[in-house]
Amino acid sequence: MDLRGTISPDRPLLVLALAEEAAHLDPQLPVLLTGMGKVNAAGAVAAALARGTLPSAVVNLGTAGALHPGWTGTHEVGRVLQHDLDTEFLRGLTGQLVGAPLALTGDGPVLATGDQFIADDQARAQLAERAHLVDMEGYAVASTALRFGVPVRLVKQVSDEAGEGADRTWQESVDACARRLAHWVTHHL
């Protein structure tokens, strides 16, 4: 966890997994780097928000894989789910709803979050039945912010097609993605 800047109630806290994704953000903005994955994201956001001063919102910026051909650009997520948690099985087993999908503001695409980097055509095809984009932190950030009563937005820049070779594509595109995310922040926050 790396908190850069000061959290204040009059501006959003920008939350990203990696420094590479935050490389072009205004250094005057409060930025939280969580590390990769749901556990790191949830722990970092909870620790930052538990300090006492809450931001006006939490805005999770980051890269995401496209689960459908032709998806490019920057997208504000409308709904987020966990692709690596069998919510329906757990409901049948316990009678409790665990890890249900979260509806966010707007009608943007569905984001699937899980603790694996999707670089496999078969995995991508299965996820494409439920979502448009895939990442590794969005659900954890959203769930944690909402538990603290802080409004949350998820903004994802498509970096790859979440299939064979996605790891290489991500490495090649992360800097350009970081520039596009910084541009989005400048024009939307």
Number of H helices, E strands in the chain: 5, 10
* Two structure tokens written together for 143: 């769930």
Q: What is the domain partition of the chain in residue ranges?
A: 2-184
Architecture of domain 2-184: 3-Layer(aba) Sandwich (3.40)
Q: In whole numbers, what is the pLDDT of the chain averaged over residues? A: 94
Positive or negative, the Cα torsion across 136, 138, 144, 147? negative
Q: Is the pLDDT score of 162 beyond 80? A: yes
Q: What share of the chain is helix, strand, coil (3-state, %, to 5)?
A: 35, 25, 40
Q: What percent of the chain has pLDDT over 70?
A: 98
Q: What is the residue type of 84?
A: D
pLDDT digits (tens, 9 = 90+) for 71-100: 999 999 999 999 987 777 766 778 887 788
How sure is the predictor about 14, in pLDDT bands with cuts at 50, 70 and 90? very high
**What is the mean predicted confidence (pLDDT) over 34-60?**
97
pLDDT digits (tens, 9 = 90+) for 120-156: 899 999 999 999 999 999 999 999 999 999 999 999 9
* Two structure tokens written together for 43: 């722990």
What pLDDT does residue 19 have? 98
Residue 33: name the closest of 19, 12, 52 by CA: 19
What pLDDT does residue 95 have? 85
